[in-house]
Amino acid sequence: MEPRKPVDTFLDLPEDVARLIFEVAVVEDACRPQYALISKQVQRWVEPIIYRDVVVDLRRGWFHRTATAPVSSKPPDFFALYVKSLFFRVYDASNNDRDAAQILQKCRSVHSLAIWSYIFPGSLPRLQAVISSPSLAPTQISMSQFVLSSDESTNRSFSHPIFSSVTHLDITCMEEEGEMVWTSLKNLSRLTHLSIDIYLVNDRNPAQLAKDILSNCPTDLRILIIWPSSDSYSTCALESIKSLVQGDVDRRCVVVSMSGNMYERPAANFELTSEQLLKEWSTPSMAGGNDLWARAEQVVNDRRTKPSKEA
């Protein structure tokens, strides 16, 4: 008698049990795309998990070819239904702009969207057109501010439709590129968590900036994370950051710094490595979710339970 094949053994199991085994395995295994090759049945089970969090390599174009293929074994709306998070790094305007825009059009139901761009905004017209359309409504966004628009009057505003449903927002704030239109934060009625990456130049006061931001945020905002960075910190800036760390400016303020940064690091409530930050936004559906927000929540909760100085 010939030995039974492993697949035959699984066929003896109830379908829901076999499916659960493969779903758990595909989450835990770094080589998870290979599970889709076992059989068509297993492929139908595991591909929604394989494509749940997608880190897009625009240079190699693998996912772009898969998502935009004219002939595919997947249903036409597969990526719209099952891709829950997208992470982009945009380096090259000539191809990245077109490919990123086409991918977003296919994955229009993403909950988490991260676009980290390193090029001039005027060279991304297709991507900006998709972002400015009402077809996308992610609840979590991490974005370079200059991706929003090439129009200087709207480039730094939060009035774009893509922010209409956002609850968790992470944005850069480079002063040399212009100040964000903080008053437009009032339009984000669902916003509860905000993270701002601030590069301090020209004696910029992070505590005052935090106050300006908070004065324009919805009343339901629970967390404001400040990521200060600078080639050199003034004494005033260091004292200002310290007041944020201690919660003196506002209990909702949390300071985070990037560990391993070559520059001087001021006081912070906690640190993250660049690898940890990348993981937060590239695989938000994994167990534990986005730890950045959870750790900031813990800092704020500890302040609430700590006796006040006056007590």
Coil vs helix vs strand at 114? strand
Residue 265 predicted with pLDDT over 80: no
Residues 246 and 306 grouped into a single domain: yes
Residue 219 CA to chain centroid, in angstroms?
A: 23
CB burial class (10 A; 0-12, 13-18, 19+) of residue 205? middle
pLDDT of residue 72: 82
Task: Give 91-136 pLDDT, tens digit per residue.
Answer: 877 778 889 999 999 998 999 999 988 776 567 888 888 887 888 9
Of 235, 237, 229, 227, nearest in space to 263 by CA: 229
Report the amino acid identity of residue 249.
Answer: V
Host H or E run for residue 56: strand 53-56
The answer as to whether 108 is a domain residue is yes
Do 300 and 177 have their domain in common? yes
Helix (H, G, I), strand (E, B) or coil at 172: strand
Structure token pair of residue 6: 């492993």
d(CA 4, CA 178): 67
Same domain assignment for residues 24 and 66 = no
Which tokens belong to 51? 């494509």
Total domains present in the chain: 3
Look at residue 161 and tell me if it is in a domain: no
| Residue 16, number of CB atoms within 10 A of its CB | 8
- Give the torsion through C-alpha atoms of 171, 177, 179, 185, to 10 deg: -30
pLDDT at position 92, please?
77
**In terms of domains, do 71 and 211 share one?**
no
In a domain, residue 34? The reply is: yes
| 40 and 65, same domain (yes or no) | no
SS3 140: strand
**Encoded tokens for 92:** 């090259």
What is the per-residue pLDDT for 232? 72
The residue from 88, 118, 137 where one domain ends is 137
pLDDT digits (tens, 9 = 90+) for 170-214: 998 765 556 788 999 999 999 999 999 887 766 778 899 999 999
Please tell me whether residues 171 and 198 are part of one structural domain. yes
Q: Are residues 272 and 200 in the same domain?
A: yes
| Whether 62 and 45 share a structural domain | no
Q: Are residues 295 and 240 in the same domain?
A: yes
| Claim to verify: residue 99 and residue 207 sit in the same structural domain | no
Mean pLDDT of the chain: 81
Residues 43 and 71 in one domain: no
Non-local CB neighbours of 206 within 8 Å, separated by 6+ positions: 198, 200, 226, 228, 237, 240, 241, 244
User: Domain range spanning residue 9?
Assistant: 1-50
